[in-house]
Amino acid sequence: MSQASARLRYPEHEARHPWLAKLLDAYQLCDEAARADLARESARRGAPPACMRGCHVCCVGQVVPVSAFEALGLWWFAAEQLEGETRAHVRANLSGHAGHEHAQACPFLVLGACAVYQARPFTCRQHHVFGRPCRPGENLREDRPGDIVNAGQDAARALAGLVIPLYGVAEADVDWRFESGYVQSRSRDLHSLPFENLIHHMDAAARRNSPRHA
Ligand code: SF4
């Protein structure tokens, strides 16, 4: 799932939402760390990851933990950045998602690609598979756990230093909060997010930004 690791910039939006600037910093840090880990792992195994453009097996039927600020990032990106057919497709996915939860595809998956790639959660950035491409429905954790690499995990403490203060935690308390699993305890499965709320948010943003999204 890794691609470029340049820091994305949305100056107008970052000025309005200080949390967004920190989240984008954290995503860049995560991507850089994942890139370095994958290079090391590829060298060790003598082969690159099996993940390739167009493969989206890991976007179907999986639990995807997201923290509150990752969810906010998804909300922001879907409402303020998606346009045209992709936006319409995501909106349709979101309305069809209620009640199905993680038994189905991620609602941000559009025609085999991640529509929110720039704002995808940490888990999506870190999960990679070696060996061979995944088969639909394959249970990697049981069948070939050695092929799974969660790249960038060593950067978790640095990431926590960017994310935990967003919850209003003082710098001096970040370490012990990190050790106690603070962010995980405030995470939930992406599939259980209130997508009706996101649909309203997208519609309100479309009206506000019209005619850009008209
Ligand atoms: S957010 Fe994107 S990468 Fe992550 S599961 Fe959904 S479609 Fe896949």
Express each pLDDT in 75-106 by its tens digit: 999 999 999 999 999 999 999 886 555 558 99
Q: Which amino acid is it at 109?
A: L
How close is the Cα of 168 to the center of ligand 1, in Å? 28
Does 213 fall in a domain? no
Half-sphere CA count of 75, side-chain side, radius 13 A: 20
1 in any annotated domain: no
Going residue by residue through the chain (214 aa), what tens digit of pLDDT does each one get?
444 578 999 999 999 999 999 999 999 999 999 999 999 999 999 999 999 999 999 999 889 999 999 999 999 999 999 999 999 999 999 998 865 555 589 999 999 999 999 999 999 999 999 999 999 989 899 999 999 999 988 899 999 999 999 999 999 999 999 999 999 899 999 999 999 999 999 999 999 988 654 4
Q: 63 lies in a domain?
A: yes
Alpha carbon nearest to ligand 1 atom 5, residue: 59
Q: Is the CB of 108 inside a 6 Å radius of any atom of ligand 1?
A: yes
- The Cα-based distances of 144 to 35, 42, 47, 139, 150 in angstroms read 22, 17, 16, 8, 14
Query: How many other C-beta atoms lie within 10 A of the C-beta of residue 143?
Result: 10
pLDDT score of 126: 95
Q: Which atom of ligand 1 is nearest to the CA of 56?
A: 8
Is omega for the bond preceding 145 within 30 degrees of 0, making it cis?
no
In angstroms, what is the span from residue 124 Cα to ligand 1's centroid? 6
- For residue 158, is it within any domain? yes
Question: Does residue 3 form part of some domain?
Answer: no
The pLDDT of residue 68: 94
Cα–Cα distance, 49 to 178 (Å, whole number): 30
Could you say which DSSP state residue 3 is in?
-
* Ligand 1 nearest-atom number relative to CA 62: 5
Please indicate whether residue 74, judged by its CB atom, sits closer than 6 Å to ligand 1: no
What is the distance in A from the centroid of ligand 1 to the CA of 1?
A: 9
Question: Given this model, what pLDDT does residue 200 score?
Answer: 97
Protein residue with least CA distance to atom 1, ligand 1: 120
Task: Identify the burial level of 141 via C-beta atoms within 10 angstroms of its C-beta, where 0-12 means exposed, 13-18 middle and 19 or more buried.
Answer: exposed
Answer whether residue 4 is part of any domain. Answer: no
pLDDT at 43: 98
Note the pLDDT of residue 96.
86
Asked if residue 94 is part of any domain, the answer here is: yes
Residue at 103 is within a domain: yes
> How far is 162 from 29, CA to CA, in rounded Å?
10
Domain that holds residue 154: 11-208
Output the CA–CA distances (angstroms, integers) from residue 16 to 10, 75, 144, in the order listed. Answer: 10, 15, 45
207 CA distance to ligand 1 centroid (A)?
26
Query: Does 59 contact ligand 1 (Cβ within 6 A)?
Result: yes
In terms of Cβ atoms closer than 10 Å to its own Cβ (0-12, 13-18, 19+), residue 76 is buried
What pLDDT is attached to residue 162? 93
* Residue 37: exposure state from Cβ atoms within 10 A (0-12, 13-18, ≥19): buried
The count of domains in the chain is 1
